[in-house]
């Protein structure tokens, strides 16, 4: 497992000044209702007339609070891949929408998502830098700071201990507490589901089952054997922009023409990218290889010399070997499939203009056995970082633009269909329904 410190810095002062401006003079501050009205209006337009959303959909605190309640806590957030928790007692920590969480594999082999808030007096049972040398039974695992292994959880405040499934195991000096029943105190479990090897959590407990409406996508992805893949590369980023700025950037490939003109455009030209029909719960786009790249790739596979590049994933169709695929499960699950790897982004929105992001690469288990694996992994790390840095720069600059008085509503290209579909999802959630519920489903860009 490799992970990097957050050493990226935007090339300019991103937000402090912009924020100050917006609250004073730059833009007339709209109410939540006005901003949502703007979202509904933008999303009601056909793709050929589509516009951007109101700027304040990405900067307003009330909009963010609404999203936390109605989209993020109410929806399914992906927190881990099963390969990050291979054995009983393996766990990883993350903070999601104000909830300190542990994702842990129990003695019964089940993966659970538990609160880290101690039921005694609210201590985080594993604050950052846990371990307290020799005090806690938990040990860090791999080089990711928030991954560990333990036989039980120990709250460092008054030493209450918990089983891997969250039950209170022991609590010292409680014998004089009357009517105290140990079973009444446990680490609160959150509702979770595993889909295709990814662990999702639903914080408010009321979301419709995750797999509902995903059957087609599950079949589409079957050849990638996602549950068997290994998360081999992970890197954290502190992002000074709105989570929706990243979702839109990840899903549209129009920007290959601009910021990725040297990195991705020569391989997957923007004009060839296309988007499938509207789905209730997800968006699916295709990024076909240029003919010369596809031919070179098939020859590379035929030669069978994988000393300098990862081998293709076994079992993919020729079509799957000729393109990248992009997937968004609303609201924040972002996945890109390539012929030799899968890229997953884990999003932890923190505020209207702050997001913690984990960029990861998953590889076939066979790839980890290759004699030159370390070299191939270093190469894959470099490749992801190179184009992700380009995206970090644009997303940061976009967020600054969203605060400015010079901001104006924009028009979308047909190549930005995933952005338009995402806006239609946001509008549907404002109305309280889902895209496709009202029967007017957008058609695929390919017959
Ligand atoms: S707060 Fe955890 S043991 Fe007291
Ligand atoms: Fe990009």
Q: What pLDDT sits at residue 19?
A: 67
Average pLDDT of the chain?
93
Looking at residue 209, its pLDDT comes to 96
Q: Is the pLDDT of residue 50 over 80?
A: yes
Shortest CA distance to 92 belongs to which of 133, 157, 138? Answer: 138
Instruction: Specify the CATH number for the domain of residue 356.
Output: 3.90.380.10
Name the percent of the chain lying above pLDDT 90: 85
pLDDT for residue 132:
57
Query: Residues 243, 171: one domain?
Result: no
Q: Does the C-beta of 160 come closer than 6 Å to ligand 1?
A: yes
Reported as half-sphere exposure (CB side, CA atoms, 13 A), residue 177 has a value of 8
Among protein residues, the one whose CA lies closest to atom 1 of ligand 1: 121
355 Cα: distance to centroid of ligand 2 (angstroms) = 17
Range of the domain at 188: 77-194
3-class DSSP string for 165-189: CCEEEECCCCCCCCCCCHHHCECCE
Q: What is the pLDDT of residue 312?
A: 95
Q: Do both 226 and 141 map to the same domain? A: no
pLDDT over 90 (residue 264): yes
Name residue, tokens 């891949």: 81
What is the spatial distance between Cα 211 and Cα 255, in angstroms, rounded to a whole number?
Answer: 31
- Ligand 1 pocket residue status of 155, Cβ below 6 Å: yes
Residues 6+ apart with CB under 8 A from 388: 237, 359
The more confident residue out of 136 and 444 is 444
Pocket probe mutation, ligand 1, options 115, 117, 121, 170, max atoms within 8 Å of Cβ: 121
Task: Please name which ligand lies nearest the alpha carbon of 398.
Answer: 2
Same domain flag for 345 and 406? yes
Whether residues 103 and 71 fall in one domain: no
- 114 forms bridges with which residues in the sheet? 102, 189
Looking at residue 4, what is its pLDDT?
A: 45
pLDDT confidence of residue 1 = 42
The pLDDT score that the predictor gives to residue 142 is 78
At residue 138, the pLDDT reads 85
List the one residue out of 96, 123, 118, 127 whose CA is nearest residue 202. Answer: 96
Closest ligand to Cα 158: 1
Is residue 126 within 6 Å of ligand 1 at its C-beta?
A: no
Model confidence pLDDT, tens digit, residues 102-155? 999 999 999 999 999 999 999 999 887 665 556 678 888 876 668 899 999 999
Counting ligands in written order, the one closest to the CA of 253 is: 2
Which of 68-82, 121-135, 163-177, 341-355 has the least mean pLDDT? 121-135
The pLDDT of residue 131: 59
Phi, psi dihedral angles at 191 (to 5 degrees) = -65, 130
Tell me the best of 114, 154, 155 to mutate to test the pocket of ligand 1, counting ligand atoms within 8 Å of each CB and taking the most: 155
Domain end among 164, 194, 224: 194
Residue 447 lies in a domain: no
Q: What are the two backbone dihedrals, phi and then psi, of residue 93, each rounded to the nearest 5 degrees? A: -105, 145
Tell me whether residue 208 is in a domain: no
State the total domains in the chain: 2
Same domain (yes/no): 148, 295: no
Nearest CA to ligand 1 atom 4: 158
Ligand 1 pocket, mutate which of 115, 123, 187 (most atoms under 8 A from CB): 123
278 and 166, same structural domain?
no
251 shares a domain with 133? no
Q: Where is the domain boundary, 141, 162, 194?
A: 194
Please work out whether the CB of residue 121 comes within 6 Å of at least one atom of ligand 1: yes
- How confident is the model at residue 27, as a pLDDT? 86
The answer to whether the CB of 40 falls within 8 A of the CB of 32 is: no
Calpha distance 138→340 (Å, rounded) = 35
Higher pLDDT, 146 or 163: 163
Strand partners, 328: 283, 334
**pLDDT band, very low/low/confident/very high, at 5 (cuts 50, 70, 90):** very low
325 C-beta neighbours (distance < 10 Å), count: 19
Determine the Cα–Cα distance for residues 268 and 40; give it in Å rounded to an integer: 32
In a domain, 4, yes or no: no
User: Ligand 1, closest atom to CA 122?
Assistant: 1
Residue 260 and residue 380 share a domain: yes
Contact 51, 411 (CB under 8 A): yes
Q: Kindly state whether residue 284 falls inside one of the protein's structural domains.
A: yes
The CATH number of whichever domain residue 90 belongs to comes to: 2.102.10.10
| pLDDT exceeds cutoff 90 at 39 | yes
Among the residues of 52-166, which ranges form H helices? 61-67
CB contact set of 355 (below 8 Å; sequence gap of 6+):
239, 241, 242, 243, 246, 347, 348, 349
Helices (H) then strands (E): counts for the chain: 8, 18
Residue 391 has pLDDT above 70, yes or no: yes
**Does 205 fall in a domain?**
no
- Quick one: 363 and 401 in the same domain? yes
pLDDT in tens, 299-340: 999 998 888 899 999 999 999 999 999 999 999 999 999 999
Q: Is 158 in the pocket of ligand 1 (CB under 6 A)?
A: yes
Provide mean pLDDT across the span 27-56: 96
CA 221 → CA 77, 287, 338, 416, distances in Å?
19, 15, 11, 23
Helix axes 16-24, 373-403, angle to 10 degrees: 30
């Amino acid at each position: 497992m490799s992970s990097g410190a957050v050493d990226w810095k935007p090339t300019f002062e991103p937000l402090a000044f912009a924020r100050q401006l917006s609250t004073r003079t730059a833009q007339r501050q709209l109410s939540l209702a006005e901003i949502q009205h703007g979202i509904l209006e933008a999303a009601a337009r056909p793709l050929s007339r589509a516009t951007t959303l109101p700027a304040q959909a990405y900067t307003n605190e009330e909009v963010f609070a609404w999203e936390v309640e109605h989209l993020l806590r109410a929806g399914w957030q992906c927190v881990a891949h099963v390969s990050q928790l291979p054995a009983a007692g393996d766990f990883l920590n993350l903070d999601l929408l104000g909830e300190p969480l542990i994702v842990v594999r129990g003695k019964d082999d089940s993966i659970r998502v538990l609160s880290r808030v101690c039921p005694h007096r609210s201590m985080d049972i594993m604050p950052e830098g846990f371990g307290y040398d020799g005090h806690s039974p938990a040990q860090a695992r791999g080089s990711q700071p928030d991954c560990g292994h333990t036989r039980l959880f120990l709250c460092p405040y008054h030493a209450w201990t918990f089983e891997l499934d969250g039950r209170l195991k022991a609590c010292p000096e409680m014998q004089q507490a009357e009517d105290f029943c140990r079973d009444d105190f446990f680490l609160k479990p959150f509702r979770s589901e595993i889909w295709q090897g990814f662990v999702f959590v639903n914080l408010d407990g009321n979301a419709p089952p995750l797999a509902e409406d995903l059957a087609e996508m599950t079949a589409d992805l079957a050849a990638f054997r996602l549950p068997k893949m290994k998360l081999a590369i992970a890197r954290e980023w502190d992002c000074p922009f709105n989570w929706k700025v990243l979702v839109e950037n990840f899903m549209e490939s129009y920007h290959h023409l601009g910021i990725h003109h040297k990195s991705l455009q020569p391989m997957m030209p923007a004009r060839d990218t296309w988007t499938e029909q509207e789905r209730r719960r997800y968006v699916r786009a295709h990024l076909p290889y240029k003919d010369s790249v596809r031919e070179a790739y098939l020859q590379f596979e035929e030669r069978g010399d994988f000393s300098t590049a990862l081998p293709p994933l076994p079992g993919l169709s020729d079509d799957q070997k000729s393109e990248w695929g992009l997937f968004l499960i609303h609201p924040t699950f972002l996945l890109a499939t390539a012929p030799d790897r899968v890229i997953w982004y884990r999003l932890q929105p923190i505020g209207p203009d702050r997001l913690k992001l984990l960029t990861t690469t998953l590889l076939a288990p066979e790839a980890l056995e290759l004699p030159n694996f370390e070299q191939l992994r270093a190469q894959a790390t470099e490749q992801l970082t190179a184009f992700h840095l380009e995206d970090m720069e644009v997303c940061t600059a976009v967020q600054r633009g969203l605060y400015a008085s010079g901001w104006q509503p924009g028009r979308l290209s047909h190549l930005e269909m995933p952005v338009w579909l995402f806006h239609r999802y946001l509008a549907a959630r404002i109305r309280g329904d889902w895209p496709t519920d009202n029967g007017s489903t957008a058609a695929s860009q390919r017959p």
